[in-house]
Amino acid sequence: MEQFIFIIGCGHSGTTLLNKIIGNHRDIYGIDYETNLFFYSEIKILNELQLFISEKNKLNKKYSCEKTPKHVYYIDKMYKYTINPKIIVITRDGRDVICSLKKRFGTINHGLQRWIDDNNQWINHKNKNNFFIFKYEDLIKNKIDTIKRICKYLKIEYYDEIFEYDKKELKLSDDFFNGLINNNKHDELQKFQINQDIYDGTNRWKTELTKEEINIIYSNKEFIKIMKKLDYKL
């Protein structure tokens, strides 16, 4: 099964925003919920993929685009069940990701470990050189150039109207809500984040993290190693 795009990366790195933009392209059938597809049995995976292909064909699209951040743990299954998948990885400054996740979980511990673990999955994958990898910060600073490069990777035409995406609510997986400090509060936060326009969420850690929290983050050798590997300044 071919012609699949998978958007992956650590949660809170801009995957939802990218999915909305790319899924708005005239040649792409954008799946507007996190499928958790590769978490399941082989039979269910094959059935779901066939459904996506049928919908894509019905709409006369070139690609189906799916976004589940935690599929970073199932990249091998993408290659097993689809042909030449187009895998797009979005990265974000770990300090800002930790900052965002802190609002949901109350401490920096969850975000710190998740950012490390999720990024290590794709960084160490044997097919990494076939992925399209870019930074959330690039999308914020120059959205047109960034999306043009993605379109070139996908071999589809770029046009400005791609940014006129629907701001409808995206259904997130149950995993999104696990461990939240207040489900009602964070449900509202989720809807706000999903329905807003592109905004500059860079360097928020400078004002939202305490000195103690920053020291804890910087004392983590694996965090520093990945930040350097992804070319983020410390």
As a whole number, mean pLDDT of residues 52-80 equals 97
Helices (H) and strands (E) in the chain, counts: 11, 5
Domain count, the chain: 1
Residue 55 lies in a domain: yes
Q: Is residue 118 domain-resident? A: yes
- The residue written with tokens 């800002």 in the block is 96
> What is the tens place of the pLDDT at every residue in 194-209?
455 677 889 999 999 9
The whole-number pLDDT of residue 179 equals 52
Does residue 149 fall inside a structural domain? yes
Whether 234 is covered by a domain: the verdict is: no
- Give the residue numbers spanning the domain of 81: 4-229
Beta strands in the chain (DSSP E): 4-8, 28-30, 63-67, 86-91, 132-135
Q: What's the pLDDT at 152? A: 97
Tell me if 134 is assigned to some domain.
Answer: yes
Q: Is the pLDDT reported for residue 160 higher than 50?
A: yes
User: Residue 124 sits in a domain of what CATH number?
Assistant: 3.40.50.300
Alpha-carbon span 225 to 189, nearest angstrom: 31
Q: The pTM is what? A: 0.88
Within a domain: 181: yes
Percent of the chain past pLDDT 90, that is, above it, reads 81
Look up residue 213 and give its two tokens.
């929290």
Segment 97-110 mean pLDDT: 94
45 near 123, Cβ under 8 Å? Answer: no
Residue 125 lies in a domain: yes
